[in-house]
Every structure is written in C-alpha cells, then in structure tokens.
Structure 1
Amino acid sequence: MATYVIGFPRIGEQRELKKALEAYWSGKISQDELKQTASDLRKRHWTYQKNAGIDMISVNDFSFYDNMLDMTVMLNAVPEKYKDIDNCMDRYFAMARGDANHKAMEMTKWFNTNYHYIVPELDIDMDFKANIDKIVLEYNEAKELGIEPKVNLIGPITYVKLSKIVNGDEKAIIEKLVPVYKEIIAKLKELNPNVTIQMDEPYFVTNPTKEDLELLEKVYNELASDANIYVATYFEHSNEANEVLAKTPIKGMFLDFVHGSENSIKALVDAGKEVGIGIVNGRNVWVNDIEKSAAFVKGLTEAVESDKVHVGSSCSLLHVPYTLKYETKMDEDIKSWISYALEKLDEIRVINKLVKNEELSEYDKEVLEGNKIAIATRKTSSKIHDPIVQDRVSNLTEKDKHRSMPFEERIKLQHENLKYPILPTTTIGSFPQTPELRKLRRDFKNGLISEEDYKAQIKEMIKDLVKFQEEIGLDVLVHGEFERNDMVEYFGEQLNGVAFSQNGWVQSYGSRCVKPPLIYGDVSRPKDMTVEWITYAQSLTEKPMKGMLTGPVTMLNWSFVRDDQPKRTTAYQMAIAIRDEVEALEAAGIKVIQVDEAALREGYPLRNEKRAEYEDWAITSFRITTSSVKPETQIHTHMCYSEFSDIMDAIEDMDADVISIENARSDNSLLKIFKERGYKGEIGPGVYDIHSPRIPSKEEIVEQIEAILEVLPAEKVWINPDCGLKTRKWEEVKPSLKNMVDATIEVRKKLQ
C-alpha cells in the first residue's frame, strides 16, 4: 500500500509566491528572482511530503497562476491574439490577467470550489503540439531531492469539456489532442520509462453522457496502452467512469470517498486495477476521524490485494491552508479540531499504517491519541451549541421566507422613492485596499493606534470616496468597505460560532488569496456590524447609499463549514444573523441594501440528482435574509462568474430587485438566458473586467453598453463594473469609473 496526495498547495505557507508574483508584476523583482522563489517553494513542499511519509508525490501541481493555463501552454493551445507577445512569461500572464493591449482570457470556478481557472479558448485549426519544459524542470528538481515523482496532467476530456470552443466541436478537438498527449507521455518516459502519470478527469463526476463514456474508453485505450496512468476524479463519485476505465489498460484510479461516498471500486478490483481511497478531506479543515477512516478503508478493501490499495487525499490539498504551526492565537479547543495540509499528511500516513496493521511510531501514537481526544471533545463542547439560536431556526415560518409585496408592485415604489435615471450607475461595493489602508487596519488590530484615531482615518477615506463618486456622477453610491479585510472574513469576525485563523490562507486565483472563516458552532449576531459606517456615508450625500452585506450562502460556500450537522441548519442560522443586520440598516434609513451571493452557483452539487435539495435550502436562506424589509427598500444581490442557464429558476426564486453579474469576459453570452426567460428583475451586467489592470476607454464601454442593450431592455439595465474594486489600484479605478459614467451618459443621450 502506498500513500498519495492528489496535489499540494503552491502559494507558500507565508504567501511567498503571492508576494513574488505581485513584486514581479510591479517591476520590483526580475523574472529570474520570481523563478527562484518558485523553485524554493517546490522543493520545500516536496520535502514536507517526503518527510511525512507520502509515497506518491506530484510534480506539475505547481503553477505560477493556474494549472489549466499551464496545460494550454503545454499543448500550444495559445489563442492567436496573444502570439504577438514574444516573451513566454509575459504572454502567459497576459492570458491570465490581461495587459495594456490584451484582454485576459475568461476565468470561472473550478467545479464547485472557490478556486478559479483560466478557461482555454480552443479552435480545431490550432497547431497543437507538446511542450513539457515545465515538467522536465520540476521532475529534475524532485529527483535531486531523492523523490521519484508522479506527474500530474489535466486529462484531455476534462481539459476540452471545461474549455470555450471557438471553432470546431469537442469530440474532434479531443481526438486531435490525443496524439499530443501521447507525445507528452512519450517525452515523460524519456525521463523515466516507468514514470507514474496522474491524469485528472474530474469532468466524469458530473453526470457524463453515453457519448462521453464511449469517448473516455477510446481515449484511455490509446493513452494507457504503454504507460502507468492513474486517472483521478474528485468532488463526487464517478461510478460510470469507474466501470468504463476498468476495461482500459490504466493502472488504477484515485477516487474521492469524502464527497463521493457512493464510489464503487468493484469493477476496478475485478479488473485487477489499483485503487486510491481518497479518505482525508482536501476541501475542509476539520480533523479526520482516523480510526473510523481506517476501519472504512479496511472494510472497503478487505478482498483486495494490499499492494493494489492506496490511501490519500480526497482531492488536491490546494483548497486548504498550509499548516497550523503559525496559529498561535487560536482558541486551543478549536485548534485541536482542525487539520491543515501538513497535518493531513500525518492523517494519511497514520490511517495507512492502521489499515496495514503496522506498528506506529511514538509520534504516530501522539497523532492518533490527539485525534481521539479532538473527536470526543468536539461532540460535547459547550462552545458549539446555543439553544437560543436553535430555537430561532425551529420557529421560522413561511412568512419569514417571502417579501410582503410582489416585485412588479414594489419596483414602482422603489423608482418613485429612489428617483434614479435610466441606466443607473453604481459599483459592486469595495474600493482599493492600499498597503497604507491594510497597515492602518493592522496597526489598529495590534493596538498600535487608538480606536478613535482608526475610525477618524477610515471616515476620512469614506468622505473622500463619497466626494469622488459624486464628482464623476455615479447614481447609487457605496462607502468603499475600507474597514473590511475580506467580504466573508469581516462578517465572520463579528459573529458568534465563527473563528478565524492568523495564517489560514487559501488560493482563489493567481496571487489572490482568501482566509476562510471556520464555522465551528451555532451562529448568531451579537451586535450591529455595518450600520455605523454606512449611515455615516449616507449622511454625506443626498444620493442613495447602498448597504453592503455578504449573503448566508456565500458565507457558507466561502467558509470551512462545520460537518457535525446538516448544512441547511447552519445556513438558516447564518441567514437569521444576516437578517438582523438587514433590518438594522433599514431602521437606520438605508434604502438600498446589497446582499451578495457571489458564491451561490459554486455551491451546487455536481450531480443533477442532488441539486434540488441544495437549491431549496440555499434560496430559502437568501429569502430569510432579505424578505422582512419594506417594499420600498430595494434589495440587490451580486454573483461572480457563473453559468446561469441551468439555475435560472433558482435566481428567479431569490426574488431580488436587482442582480449584478460578472459579464465582461463572456461577450454578453450570460445575458441571453435572462432575455430568453423574461427575467423580471433589474440586471447590472459588468461592463468592464476588474480582474485585469487595464483601463477601458469610454468608447469601449459605450460599445459594451450598446451590446448589452441589444440583449436587454434599457429599463432593466444597471451599469457597473464586473465585481468589487478592492484588488485594483486607485490610478486604475478612477479613470475606469469616470469612463464608465461618461459612456453611460453618452448612451443615455442616444436613447433620448
């Protein structure tokens, strides 16, 4: 039996790669310095895994930005529009984030996680060919450390299925790519004739069709005919694919038994394949019940030869933080219930030893004993259970879940009350988080400045922002969120039942990292969270000021959620807590309240048969949060990159007055479904991409607005950027927003 991980985090336990990337992008370090940081991190991460007793360690799980983008480079699937950039690294980052002359490629969520990938743009006429320079470099680095690594690749079917096809069809492109993958495999075998290849095919957890499965069998009959290939699926079960792949020459499969507990290994075992049992959760931080997991693996594989069973992570550990060793301030009880990436390596090793009936080392015995104590105390701790919160959930009624007036009637009241023009302009909420601002918050948190001084400086920033918004002519203003570190973390820090880490950073995309809250107990709101800041901002202007809140579903989907009760229960607790804040904002005179559900889409189960249950509690949670306000109070929501076609019923059921969506990278294709469905609410499609540093011209935004108006009636359209502006710089934000407002005024004149 061997131990394995599907992949390892790469941003660095102190976010070293993030800092190096941002220094490189700003011209502060050279390309060689960036590459050296990357090399140092890779070697450190491999050493951690080797020292923890992991047998199958990956190369090519590291990336400067994204593994799908790396695969695009490896296959020479670079779109023509970027080929005028001679420098390989500059071209790579232009595809990822754009530059002065190039728009970035589309970005969307990796299945139902909060990780974003760069969507390939594939054309059947592309000159696909193999380039494994990146893998060769990493493979040789690992060999120098005494590691014979496995090589991670995104499988051809998943790669194409998750791509944007600009010319040709999926099947033809896959068939054209298979020889290129065979060439990659041949080149890898030059490094080591017995090289182990992990081919990731998570597409096959998403209700594959008969045609998909036929293609899967054909592809892997070719690719695995003379190679040691393990196919990895994760985030759900892949039973249809398991049966098909059992008939191919693959060596084995790595399967997710945390989120895909229905996975069956029978066909694989009967065919003599090796099976990886992914039993340690790569997507959540709660400790694994080691003895229970070992018993599960033993029961599942008792009739299987031991050398054909492997124990590992359910998916890549990319989705969890690095290590608890930097968590010096966390409550000791809560900390004992948590396991980050390095701690999960220990769990994998000890489970494997228990399954094999191997003698445990003294350290392993300590790990196991600590695990037993953590499992026991978590079940009984008074820090987790709050009878008052439980009663509020139990006493919810249908009235708590519906607005008091139909949309068509209340939107008229809102127009009369708010008096905004056609094509009203606004922003999504946040404004730049400068180093000076972060230092101010950090100094306050560390007690280096007084609360009075801190608040005075934040209010001065709000005052300046309100003045700027009024000067350029925005219609509905925001206060800028200068007091907030993160849209989820800020609220989580003020809620009971939620804990925070010092260093629990997880990569979202590129250099962007988030520090998810730890929802460990019953959730409640002890006091106002945003009222002071937003009412101050409203006092500075006659224009409507939006109250900015994060919705309950996004709070859950961007948090590490307790796994000891149904997610529905935790969602309703969160919804009631956020509702208390909505009601407080309304009572304070705020007439527009945005409850962001940026992550609603990404929480969807990957299997169709499981979606209805999720939609039921997710949409109900949003309505619990927003339905108690007066008809005159306008409720906005915002969603990040999403495919909306299959969730329109749910979006309509949310019953928001205005929805803003990320749209600029999608050529308005997301909007067509709103038109086709006759969506009743008002819509703010993003008119420019905030994930790119480029400044859109007024003329460009005019074209974008006019393209939107070809799809949607002007009476329903709001004008706003794609998303919040916190990651951008002021020198980018100010001209971009001015151009946006000027473009809107020009289009309004044309409409008149």
Structure 2
Amino acid sequence: MLTNNLGYPRIGSKRELKKACEQYWSGNSSIQNLVQTGKEIRKHNWELQKEAGIDLVPSNDFSFYDQVLDLSLTVGSIPKRYHEVILNKGNSELDLYFAMARGYQKDGLDITAMEMTKWFDTNYHYIVPEFLKNQQFKLFSTKLLDEYNESIRLGIKTKPVIIGPVSYLLLGKEKESGFDRIDLVKNLLPVYLELLSKLEEQHVEWVQFDEPFLALDITEKDKEAFRYVYTEIKKKFPRLKTLLATYFGALEDNKELTLALPVHTLHIDLVRNPEQLDDILADIPGHMNLSLGLVDGRNVWKNDFEASLSLIKTAVDKLGKDRILISPSCSLIHSPCDLDLETNEVVLSADIKQWLSFARQKIDEVVVLKALAEQDENALPKLKANKLANECRKTSDLIHNAAVKRRVAAITVKDDQRENTFGVRQRVQCEALNLPLFPTTTIGSFPQTQEVRSWRAKFKKGDLSLTEYYKLIEKETEETIRFQEEAGIDVLVHGEFERNDMVEYFGEQLAGFTFTKNGWVQSYGSRCVKPPIIYGDVHRPAPMTVKWSAYAQSLTEKWVKGMLTGPVTILQWSFVRNDQPRSETCTQIALAIRDEVVDLESAGIKIIQIDEPAIREGLPLHKTDWQDYLHWAVKAFRISASGVKDDTQIHTHMCYSEFNDIIQNIADMDADVITIECSRSQMDLLDAFADFKYPNEIGPGVYDIHSPRVPAKEEMVFLLEKARKVIPAAQLWVNPDCGLKTRHWEETKKALTEMVAAAKVLRESVEEAVTL
C-alpha cells in the first residue's frame, strides 16, 4: 500500500509566490529573485511531503501562474501575436509566459492576454489554450524535466505531474472554424512522447497524467482519442508506471473506456462519489492498481477515518493491499496551506478549529489512513481523536438554528417572484431612472491601494478607532464618486473600500460563518482568496451594506448602485458545511441577502447589483445532474432579488463563463440587467444571448480588468459595434468585464475615460442614424 499526493499548494504558506510575482511585474524585483522564490517553495513542499510519509510526491505541480498555461508553453502552443515578445532579446521565457497570461503593453507592442475561464466547478481560473487547424506542436519549455531533476538533486524522487493530452485539448478553444480541436491529438502526442523519453533517460518511475474529462460527458471521438493516446504511451514506454488521475466526479458512462486503458494505476475521487468504488472494483482489470481519493482536496473538514477505512477495506478485500494507493481526492491547490498557522482564537475559535484540516494536515491524514489500514497500533490514538472531533461537530450547539430552519420551511412561490414581468418593470424603470442610451457603469469595486488596505489592517489591530477608520473610508468614497461624476459615468458605485473580499466581507457579517487568518487559496495568477467557512445555519443579524451605499448616494444626484454578492456565489466561494445539502445552505443565504436588498431599497437605493459569477461554475460535471442544481440555484437568486418594487432595478454580474447551454436558466433568473465578461472572447460569448433573443438588458464587458493594459476608445467602440449587431441598442449597457479592485488608479482612470468616450461614440451614431 502506497501513499500518494496529486498536487500541493504552490502559493507558499505566507503567499510568498504572490508577493514575488507582483514585485517582479511592478519592476521592483529581479527575475532571479522570482525564480529563487519558486525554488524555495518547491523545496519546502517536497521536503514536507517526504518527511510526512508520502511515497509518491508530485513535481511539476508548481506554477508561476497556471498549470494549463505551463503546458501550453511546454508544447509550444504559443499564439502568433506573442512571437514578437519572443523576438525581443531582453525578454525571458517567463516574460513570454506572463505576456500570454496578462497581456503585453510595452516596447511599442500592445498585445491582449489569452482568455481565462473556470477550472471545472472550482473557483480556480486557467488560461485557455488557443488552437488552429492543423496546428503543429514542439517541445518549447523543459519546465517539467527541470523540476523533476531539481527534486532529484534534493534527494527526493518525485512523480512528475502533467495534464493529459486529451484533457489539454478539450480545455482549449478553436480559434478558427472548420475543425475539431481533438483532431490535433496526433500532432500533440509526439511532444508528450519526447518528454517521456527524456524522463525515462532520467530513470523516472511514475508519471501522473491528469485527465479530469473522464469524469465529464465526452463524445465517441474523445473516447477514441483516449484509447489512441494511452495505447501509444504504453507501447513506447512499457515499464513506465502511469497514474491516470480522474477527479471532481464519477466515471459513470466512461467507466468501461477508462478501465480498458493500458495504464498502471487509476485514481478515482471517492469524496465526490464514494458510490463508484463498487462499480470500479467489479470490473477493474488485473493489471491495474487503484488510487483511492479519500481525503477531501476541495474542502476543509477533517476526514472521517472510520468511513475512509471502510472504503479501504472494501478495496483491499477485492484487490489486496499491494494494489492500493491512499490519496487526497484531487490536487490540494484548492485547500489552504496549513491549519497550524491559525493561532488567533478570536478569528478562528478552538471549537471550530478542531473540525478542520488544511493541506498540511490532509497529507498527515493520508499517512495515518495507511497506518490504520495496515493495523499499526501506534496510529490508534489518532483514530480515537478523529472520532471524538467528528462526533463533537455533529452534536455542537454552534451548528443549528431553529428559527432559520422554520423560515426556510415557510418559503412560498411568491417569495421568488417579482411583482410584474420584465416588460412592465422596464417601462417603469426607464421613467424612474431616466438613463441615456448605452448607460455606463462599473461592476462595483475600485482600486484598493496599499494605503486603503493598511487602514483596514490598522483598524483590526486597534491602531485606528472606528471613527478614524470611517472618516478615511468616507474620504476615499467621496473622491471616487467625484471621479466617476467627472468621467461622465452614468450609474455610480461607492467603490467598496470598506470590503476585503466580495464573499469574505459578507460572511463576516452573517451568522454561521467563520474565518481564518492565513487560509489563502489561489484563484488565478497572483490572485489569492481567503474563503469563509460555513459551519452552521446562516442568517443576517444586522444590515451589512446600507450605511456605505446610502452615504455614497447622499453625495451625488446620480444613481449609486448597491453592491451585493449573490447566494450561489457566496456558497461556491466558501468552504461549505458537508452535513446538509448545499441547496439548503444556499437558500438560507438567499434569505439573508433578500433582507439586505429590501433594506437598501428602503434607504433610497434604486439600483441594486447581486453578483452571481459562480452560477455557471456550480454546474455538476454530468449534464444529467444539471437541472436539479439549476432549479435550486436560480430559485435562490430569485428569492434574494424578489422583495423589491418594480421601479427598483436589479442587476447581476457573471464572468468567465460559457452561457450557451444554460441561457434559459439565466433568463429565468429574471435580473433586469446582466453584465458579463466579453472582452477576452471578443464578444463571442454574447452570441448565446443573441441567438436566444435574451429579453432583458445586457452589459457586455468592453475591456479586460485582469490585464494591466489600457485599451483605446477605438478598441471598445469596435467591441460595442459587434455587440450592437446582435443585441438591440435599447438593451445594451457599457461596462468593464469585472470589478476594478486589483487594478491601479492610473490605468483605471484612463480606461474608464476611454470607456465613456466609446459609449458617446455609440450614442452619436444612433442619433445620426435617427436623423438620417
């Protein structure tokens, strides 16, 4: 029996990678310092896992930005627009890499970043590969080889990890018509074979191929690609121990395909779907070993050793212990680094901390499970302690609130319906709000400078009084209102300077949530989030946003949007309790947000945005499970939004999603205005709304806020003209892709000035058309 890990957090326990990247990007640190930080993080991670007792320690799970982008660079899938970056001799391979992720705006070049989207149903974002017909691939970067050799020099024989060729192609996007990207598999596979040949020269024993698409619905052509790839790998490298990793769901219809592949070991996710174990064991061939994904790589709750041991026993009874690996369910990049760093009981109480496990502790859980399965008596005290902690959680008075449960049970059909249909509301809102054609707005947040963040830190430490802190926030809010007025933006926002994170801020004010001091998880690139932990029944003890929205509205004659995070997004971007259905928790959050919406309306806020960027990412991996999820998710949003009058305009925002297959459900949400990410996709995402004839108003993002480049007015006009061809002018809003919190003020002011100018060009063109 072996212990196995699929991947470890790469940000560093104190976000060392984030800081090093941002210092390099800003020109305040050298590339040598950045590379050294990466080496130190890898060394720490490898040694930690080896010392804990992990037999198969992963390498190449580290990334300076994103593992999919790493692979694009490795196989030479570099879009043509970046070739000039390569030709500049002053640029390193890392500079090219970051240009692909973030865009490039120097040396007389202005190059857009590659598209970014969600990694399956997680809050991690990856950089989408771009493919052309008959595209050729070549070994461009040797990162995988370099990191394996780096581990060997440290005396740790690692297991290189790479995204499998089929999943890599399926993660990408065709950038021209007339072909299916999976057809490129025969062009791509030779690069993988070259990599494996070089690894074989270094006497590599194990290689992990991540093929998460085996837990999704795939086509017969995709299945044939899987057969072709792994047959060829087996033929060329018969002695290589290939570990095929699936996760986030069950194999289901792909079980027969997967079990027929000539791989050494199959990894399955028994946290998401423990029921699949019996199906797998019934048909697993004699040559195949099985990696049991027992420790939850995506949530923070302590493992139930007794339940896991029962699954291990079932597998051992069938296969014998020599064919079994004990593993987390998926890579631990979705988990915070180390629970031992949580030493402040004011932030995270000892009562709740005893129920939790972060990446460092999950590694220990894997090792303890192996010891218990092998009947090591020294591990028995840990089994006893684990059982006590889990029993304590089940019976704790912290978990349940009878009043919340009664309110959920009392929900009726009227609670998720607006008073009138959108057609009626639109006329009422048009008269009440009196906005121009192509109204301009932003998505909510404005830049949070180091100074603003320092105020919050000083206030939490007690170095600033509440009065002093509020005065500073008021000043920053007023300056932001004045800038928006001067820029000519039509619907203003207060800037959210009092907020840390769009989910954490609300969780801090809702009962049933707790927090960490250092529970950071990577969202994309250097962007890290600290998800709240939902441990009990949720309700709103007091108003959360009314003070600052009302204050901002008092400063201006223009409308100020109230800014809220929706129930599904709060659910998706939190670590959620696993002792009741997610739908139940989501409904509790929806009622809390509904109370806030009603209070904002009472305070004179006539436009309220309820952000739901996570609706799409919450979809189950198999389409047969979609409708149940979409039913309760859409209902939760409608509950949160339906307590207001017709003249109050409800907005929602979604980003980095494919909408085609859920467009009816988005329409069912019945938001008066939806704003979406569109700029990186060059408005292609808007086609779904146009084909569907989406009835409500739409704000397709006209510039990418995840890149530091400032687009010109003409670029935004071009995108708006594309939008106008498919969406009626009376339905179009003008806005950035997302919130501006992570950007700098200088670029923000330039970009928004260009955006307003672009909207004016569109208005003038409509006026001219009417005159003619």
The structure 2 residue matched to 1:179, chosen from 190, 194, 200, is 190
Equivalent positions of 1:628-639 (< 5 A) are 628-639=643-654
Supply the distance in 2 between the matched residues of 1:132 and 1:150 (Cα, whole angstroms).
19
Matched, 1:406 2:421: yes
Partner of 2:53: 53
Specify the SS of the correspondent of 2:403: helix
Q: Does 1:338 pair with 2:353?
A: no
Q: Residue by residue, what CA displacement relative to the aligned partner does 1:459-504 show, whole Å, maximum 9, x if unpaired?
A: 0111111111000111100000000000000000001000010000
Q: Give TM-score scaled by structure 1 length.
A: 0.98
Contact kept in structure 1, 2:42 and 2:62, CA below 8 Å = yes
1:229 paired residue among 229, 242, 248: 242
- 1:688, 1:696 within 8 Å by CA — same for their partners in 2? yes
Give matches, 1:631-710, under 5 Å: 631-710=646-725
**1:195 has 2:205 as partner:** yes
Q: Alpha-carbon deviation of 1:132?
A: 5.3
Q: Given the alignment of the two structures, is residue 246 of structure 1 paired with residue 282 of structure 2, yes or no?
A: no
Amino acid of the structure 1 residue aligned with 2:155:
G
Q: Which residue of 1 aligns with 2:41?
A: 41
Instruction: Give the SS at the match of 1:367.
Output: helix
Structure-2 separation of matches of 1:89 and 1:691: 18
Aligned counterparts of 2:229 and 2:646: Cα–Cα separation in 1: 57
User: Which residue does the alignment assign to 1:550?
Assistant: 565
Rate the CA distance shift 1:679–1:661 in 2: closer, same or farther, 3 A: same
2:734 is the counterpart of 1:719: yes
Residue number in structure 2 paired with 1:389: 404
Distance 1:712 1:531 in 2: 34
Aligned counterparts of 2:679 and 2:748: Cα–Cα separation in 1: 16
Counterpart residue type for residue 122 of structure 1: F
- When structure 1 is superposed on structure 2, of 132-141 and 42-51 the one drifting more is 132-141
Q: How many angstroms apart in 2 are the aligned matches of 1:213 and 1:246?
A: 12
Q: Supply the AA of the counterpart residue of 1:89.
A: L
Native 8 Å contact 1:659 1:683 kept in 2: yes
Q: 1:513 to 1:701 in 2, by over 3 A?
A: same
- 1:131 to partner: Cα distance: 4.0
Letter aligned with residue 704 of structure 1: L
Give CA-to-partner distance per residue, 1:702-723, whole Å, 9 cap, x none: 1111111112111100000000
3-state DSSP of counterpart to 1:666: coil
Question: Which has the larger displacement, 495-504 or 700-709?
Answer: 700-709
Alignment of 1:298-697 (within 5 A): 298-329=313-344, 330-360=348-378, 364-697=379-712
Structure 2 match to 1:136: 145
The amino acid that maps onto 2:190 is P
Per mean C-alpha deviation after superposition, the further-off stretch among 627-636 and 217-226 is 217-226
Name the counterpart of 2:25. Answer: 25
State how far apart, in whole Å, the 2-side matches of 1:288 and 1:440 are.
38
Give SS of 1:456's match.
Answer: helix
Is the 8 Å Cα contact of residues 497 and 524 (structure 1) preserved in structure 2? yes
Does the CA contact (< 8 Å) of 1:132 and 1:184 recur in 2?
Answer: no
Q: 1:254–1:277: 8 Å Cα contact kept in structure 2?
A: yes
Aligned partner of 2:124 in structure 1 is 115
Normalising by the residue count of structure 2, what TM-score does the alignment of the two structures yield? 0.95
Pick one of 151, 165, 169 that aligns with 2:180. Answer: 169
Q: Once the 2 structures are TM-superposed, how far is the Cα of residue 267 of structure 1 from its aligned partner?
A: 6.2
Q: Corresponding residue for 1:258?
A: 271
Q: CA deviation at 1:268?
A: 5.9
Structure 2 residue 752 is the aligned partner of structure 1 residue 743: no
Deviates more, 1:103-112 or 1:128-137: 128-137
Residues 202-232 of structure 1: CA distance to partner in whole angstroms, max 9, x if unpaired?
0111112222222211221011222321111
User: Measured at CA, do residues 217 and 181 of structure 1 come closer, stay the same or move farther in structure 2, by a change above 3 Å?
Assistant: same
**Residue 358 of structure 1: how far off its partner (Å):** 2.7
Give the Cα separation in 1 of the matches to 2:548 and 2:409: 33
1:214 aligns with 2:224: yes
1:367 and 1:579 map into 2 onto residues whose CA distance is 44
* Matched residue type, 1:474: I
Q: Note if contact 1:242-1:267 (Cα within 8 Å) is conserved in structure 2.
A: no
Q: Secondary structure of the residue that 2:284 maps to in structure 1?
A: helix
Per-residue Cα deviation, 1:222-266 (whole angstroms, up to 9, x for no partner):
112223211111000124444223333211111111113343323
Higher mean alpha-carbon deviation, 99-108 vs 369-378, is at 369-378
The letter of the residue matching 2:99 is A
> One-letter code of the match for 1:85?
V
AA aligned to 2:104 is D
Please identify runs of 4+ aligned residues in structure 1 that moved more than 6 A: none
Unaligned runs of 5+ in 1: none
* 1:365 CA drift (Å): 4.4
| Contact 1:626–1:635 (8 Å) recurs in 2 | yes
Offset of residue 370 of structure 1: 2.8
* Aligned residues: CA RMSD: 1.2
Deviations 1:148-190 (A, max 9, x none): 1111011111000110112442232112111221111111111
Change (3 A) 1:150 1:132: farther
* Unaligned 5+ runs, structure 2: 768-772
Aligned pairs (5 A) from 1:81-92 = 81-86=81-86, 87=91, 88-92=93-97
Once the two structures are superposed, what CA deviation does each residue of 1:369-395 show, in whole Å capped at 9, x if it has no partner?
Answer: 331121011011111111111111011
* Cα distance in 2 for residues equivalent to 1:522 and 1:307: 44
2:145 aligned with 1:127, yes or no?
no
Larger deviation, residues 301-310 vs 65-74: 301-310
Distance in 1 (CA, whole Å) between partners of 2:100 and 2:655 is: 20
Q: Distance in 2 between matches of 1:466 and 1:518?
A: 33
Residue range with higher mean Cα deviation, 57-66 or 85-94: 85-94
| Alpha-carbon distance in 2 for matches of 1:268, 1:44 | 40
For residues 3 and 350 of structure 2, the distance between their equivalents in structure 1, rounded to whole angstroms, comes to 29
CA distance in 2, matches of 1:214, 1:459: 61
Higher mean displacement: 378-387 or 253-262:
253-262
1:292-328 Cα deviation digits (max 9, x unpaired): 2111221233120211110101000000100011111
Q: Secondary structure at the match of 2:683?
A: coil
Shift of 1:127: 3.4
Aligned position for 2:160: 151
Shift of 1:366: 4.8
Whole-angstrom CA distance in 2 between matches of 1:417 and 1:532: 23
User: 1: distance between equivalents of 2:680 and 2:356?
Assistant: 38
Are the equivalent residues in 2 in contact too, given 1:269–1:304 (CA < 8 A)? Answer: no
Query: 1:16-41 deviations in whole A, cap 9, x for unaligned?
Result: 00000000001111111100000000
Q: Which residue of the partner structure matches residue 7 of structure 2?
A: 7
For the 8 Å contact 1:150–1:195, the answer to whether it is kept is yes
> Secondary structure at the residue paired with 1:55?
coil
Structure-2 separation of matches of 1:135 and 1:9: 17
**2-structure distance, mates of 1:260, 1:174:** 30
Please tell me whether the aligned partners of residues 276 and 309 of structure 1 are also in contact (alpha carbons under 8 angstroms). yes
